Structure formats: structure tokens, C-alpha cells
Structure 1
Amino acid sequence: MPSQGPFDLPGHVQRVVTPLSRRLVINRRGSTVWDVRAPDGRYAVKLGYPSRTHAWTAQAPAREAAILRQLIPEEVRSGEWEEGTWSAQPWREGQSLHELWEPHRRAKEPAAPSRGDALSCAAALAELHEGGWAHGDVQPNHFVLGPTGTFLIDLALAHGGEVPERHDFRYRGCLVHYEAPEISRSILESGTAVPTKEGDVYALGASLFLSATGSRHVAYPDDASRSDQRQAIVDKPHRPVNVPGPLGTLMERMMSRDPADRPSSAEVCRELRGAR
């Protein structure tokens, strides 16, 4: 059985990023992430390794690095280590959408969350889509809203450009709590799917819904298997959207079962800008 970490920064990685300090951010599902402060800046350093269920996670940091080099102006470093691959990318300061909307989940009555926050998330997604990419793993914790802007992070599953073959792998879905029905159906039928912009819009709607209400877009038991979760998404309608105002109405359209009925990310932005 593979080791499950967390893993410290290997010596050769430390020689590249020269950390002055480091803080463990997360270790799960084949990824150890460190917040590293170095003489030349602050970095998110990711170490990929095989998880108990997936081998592709070992290649995810290098795959993401290849994508980021096509999208951002800052330097992104990457390489290999004994368990898989690693990357060092600019640290994005801020709060996740899920953290930011926590007061709405504690409110006794449904309240309309900030359309400005929703717009900034939609704009980050629309920028990615305009560049020809689909993210493939849109979820509340991947939107970081901070003092210098809103960032859409964790692009290891994105599709739309060139990726070195040695670090590429098939897309087998994302965190199911935000997965669109057509993606779940494809995973159940063939084991793989193709990330789409329409699927990203659905996931953004599901992310806004869960961040505001605390409820998943589709109901299923907490201990349901991954396949049973996906089958519920395929078979059942999403929960009623009880978010008041124009944002709730827009979420409903974003989570339409038919991808053709969903607004594009650019249309979501236009509607949020014009909402009253």
C-alpha cells in the first residue's frame, strides 16, 4: 500500500525554492501542499503521490504546472521526486468562497449572499473559458477571494491546451458534490469523461448553492459510495434553490440538467452585473 503522507519537502526541492519557513496546508487524496515563504516570494508547493485509489495523483502537480505556464505570467517550477511530481506556483492570498459565505450557512433564515462575490468567481471562470480551457474541478475551495483579486486555483484537471504526454492522464471526474449530471453519467458508463465549460458552469452553480446553504446540489447519504453519489446525480433533480433574489434564479439556470439550457460563464457575468 502506498504511503499517505504528509511528505516533507525533498532536499532537491528545498534547494530550488530555498524556504525561509513553511506551513502544511493540506494532505489528502494524493497531494501534500505547503505554504512556503522564500527570499523571492511566497509559493504553494505541491507534492503529488499515488493515493489509495488513484495513481494519476502523482502526476497532477506537473500537469498543473504545464497548464499554468500557458495561463499566468509568473514563473512556475516543477519536477519529479521519488513518489511522483512536484510544483511550486505563486501563493494566492485570500479566503475561499466557502469560508467567505460561512455566515450565510449559519443564518436562521435564507439570505441573499453577495452578488459581488459571485460575480468575481464567475469572472475568474469566464477568463479561463475565454482562453479555451475548461477547469474540470470547479468547487468553492478553488475560488480564492483576496486583496489583489479572485483566483481560480487547482487546474490539474483542466483541458484545452497542450500537456506533456508523460504527465497527462484521463479525466475521471471531480469532487462529486459539484459534478454535472452528464459528467457523472459518463463516469458511470465508461469510467472517464471530458471536462466542458457547461459542466464548469453547473459546478459553479452548485458551488454557490452549497456555499450559501450548506447543502449539496443533490441529496444522497453522507456514507454513500462514489458510484451511488453519481447515480443520484444522474437520476434525481437538484435540490430546490432557496437562495432569494436574482442570484438564486441564476443558480437554478446554471444547474439545468440540459447543458444547452445553461448560461455561459460570460452570460453569468453579464446577468450578475445587471442584476438589481
Structure 2
Amino acid sequence: MTGNGPFEIPDHVQGAVTPLSQTLVTNRRGSTVWDVRTPTGRAAVKLGYPSQTHSWTALAPAREATILRQLIDPEEVLFGEWEKGTWSAQPWQEGQSLYALWEPHRQANGPAAPSIGEALSCAAALANLHERGWVHGDVQPNHLVIGPARTALIDLGLAQGGEIPEIYDFEYRGCLVHYEAPEISQSVLASGTAVPTKEADVYALGASLFISATGRRHVPYPDDADRKDQRQAIVDKPHRLINLPGTLGTVVKEMMRRYPADRPTIQEVCENLDLAAA
């Protein structure tokens, strides 16, 4: 059963979460997300449902919840099923997305050099996930939330690295194409699926830093190109010239090397950015 949403929080989910107030955050690609204030704090409540192009989106909230329960206090994460798919509730992450925070750098008269410290905080969040044995699989600017105390890497619905209940699992079919590494795009074109890797995460973070600072995708293709054509462009074309100033530009260029083995690890990225920030 598909639908366009946004969907209201079902009664049985409200009974579990006990909202005092709720604000719609987003509704797209098979997911309705609410910012909910509860007696114990603030939560992100996600309702997954089949989109017009994918059925797996209905399972994504529960899949993400089972991953989060392996990374944070399990009692802070709730999940279950509703009539169109699965739902989850998890702690709200305070802050701005990388893309929103770096908006001034995309303006004609804005500051030229993005913050090395903010870039480092994004890399550190990814490094923490990798060190715990997980691959994110969907690194993008809106999944990097830079807050007053920490930077959080959110939306782990496509992550791999631990036990996932079979009833909530699904094959990895790539991520948002604007940030896909060439080898991921090539695999999806060839077989419909791919294997997310740490190397592809590093590439995606580089592409995320680049687009957030410049407003340009890592590979040029028409805005109205379908996903197959977008992926073919990523496979066939070199990425755009990395023209970010200073150390950040040098590091991002290395992160976006075409061949996975040539890219630095995320720990090496952190070390280089940390030296520049000192």
C-alpha cells in the first residue's frame, strides 16, 4: 500500500511516545518525520511507508532502530509497526545540517573558507561510526547535524555492520546519487545492488563537504536526469575540480579519488584536518 503522506502519528504510537507537542519536519521518499516533545525530552518520530518507487522505505525506521539500539542506550529507542510499514522514535539531535550551516559560503559575497573545525567534527562523527564496526551507506549533508555540543551523523537506515532482524532487512540499492562513489554507482547499474563500504563513506563525505561549500554536485549532470543517467555520469565522468581553499580542498580532493584504495581512511582525514585546525 503506497501513499504520499504526510501521515499523522498513529494512536498506538502516540500511546508509546506520549507527545506534548509535535511539528512536521519532513515528508519525502517514503518517510514522514515529526519533531515531538515528550515528558522525558525531544524525539524524532519516523513513519516509514512504501514510496512510489521503493517498498523498502516502509521497513527503514525499524531497521534503523535496531541499529541505534546497538550504538546507544536501547531504552532511548522505540520502534514497531503501523498499517503502512514501520515506525521509530529516537532522541532528537539539536543543531543545523551541514548544508544549512554552510549556506553563507555558497553566496556570491560570502566567506570563502568554510570552517575546518566544522568539517573535522563531521569527519569525527563518521570516524566514530567506522571505529564501532559500522558503515553508514548514506552520508549526505542533511545527515550531518552540527550542534552546540557535538556533531551527529543521523539516518542510519541503510547502515551495515551488525545484526539486523531479517524481517526488517533489505538489500542495499545505493544512496542519494549526488553523493555516491563511482564504484557504488557502477555496481547498482550492473546488478541493482551494491555493498556499502568505508571507502564509499569517505567519498560521500568529501562530496558532501564540496556541495555544501560550493552548491555544486561532485559530477555534472542535468537537473532532470533520471537516476540511471545520473549514475552513468558518475561512472563515466571525472568529478568536478575541487577548488576549496587551503587544507580543506586538499583533503576533499584526496577523499574523492576515483579508486577506493587511493582514498584516505576517515581516521587519516581527521588527522589532517586536526593539524590544519590547530
Tell me which interval the TM-score lies in, with the shorter structure as reference length: over 0.9
Answer whether contact 1:110 1:242 (CA < 8 A) is retained. Answer: no
Quote the Cα distance in structure 2 between the aligned partners of 1:111 and 1:238. Answer: 21
Q: Decide which moves more: 233-242 or 110-119.
A: 110-119
Give the match's secondary structure for 2:76: coil
Report the counterpart of residue 202 of structure 1 in structure 2.
203
| Conserved 8 A contact 1:110-1:243 | no
User: Deviations for 1:79-102, whole angstroms, at most 9, x for unmatched residues?
Assistant: 000000000000001000001000
Report the counterpart of residue 146 of structure 2 in structure 1: 145
Q: Where does structure 1 lack aligned partners over 5 or more consecutive residues?
A: none
What SS class does the counterpart of residue 162 from structure 2 fall into? Answer: coil
| TM-score, length-scaled by structure 1 | 0.98
Shift of 1:112: 1.5
Using structure 2 for the length normalisation, give the TM-score. 0.98
- Structure 2 residue aligned with 1:154: 155
Matched-pair contact (CA < 8 Å) for 2:219–2:240 = yes
Q: Which amino acid aligns with 1:112?
A: A
Tell me whether 1:41 sits opposite 2:41 in the alignment.
Answer: yes
Contact 1:47 1:87 in 2 (8 A): yes
**Which residues of 2 match residues 71-150 of structure 1 at below 5 A?**
71-73=71-73, 75-108=76-109, 111-150=112-151
2:28 aligns to what? 28
Contact 2:34/2:46 (8 A) holds in 1 = yes
Once the two structures are TM-superposed, the CA of residue 272 in structure 1 deviates from its matched residue by: 0.4
2:145 is paired with a residue of what secondary structure?
Answer: strand
Q: Which residue of 2 aligns with 1:193?
A: 194
* Inter-partner Cα distance in structure 2 for 1:27 and 1:275: 39
Percent sequence identity over aligned pairs = 74
Q: Which runs of no fewer than 5 residues in structure 2 stay unpaired?
A: none
Give every structure 1 segment of 4 or more consecutive aligned residues whose post-TM-superposition deviation is greater than 4 Å.
none
Q: What is the alpha-carbon distance in structure 1 between the residues aligned to residue 109 and residue 178 of structure 2?
A: 24
Q: Distance in 1 between matches of 2:232 and 2:80?
A: 38
Whole-angstrom distance in 2 between the partners of 1:101 and 1:141: 11
CA–CA separation in structure 2 for the residues paired with 1:89 and 1:240: 39
Counterpart CA distance in 2 for 1:3 and 1:113 is 40
Kept in 2, the 8 Å contact 1:110–1:244? The answer is no
Corresponding residue for 1:221? 222
Cα RMSD of the aligned pairs, angstroms, is 1.1
Deviations 1:235-274 (A, max 9, x none): 0000001111010011100000010010001100000011
Closer, same or farther: CA 221–110 of 1 in aligned 2, 3 Å: farther
Cα distance in 1, alignment partners of residues 265 and 113 from structure 2: 22
How many Å separate the matches in 1 of 2:117 and 2:69?
29
1:177-192 to structure 2, matched below 5 A, reads 177-192=178-193
Q: Could you tell me how far 1:75 is from its partner in structure 2? A: 1.4
Within 5 A, what are the aligned runs for 1:208-247?
208-247=209-248
SS at match of 1:33: strand
Give the corresponding residue for 1:3: 3
Letter paired with 2:184: I
Structure 2 CA distance, aligned partners of 1:9 and 1:275? 46
1-side partners of 2:84 and 2:117: how far apart?
41
Structure 2 equivalent of residue 248 of structure 1 = 249
Give the partner amino acid of 1:271: N
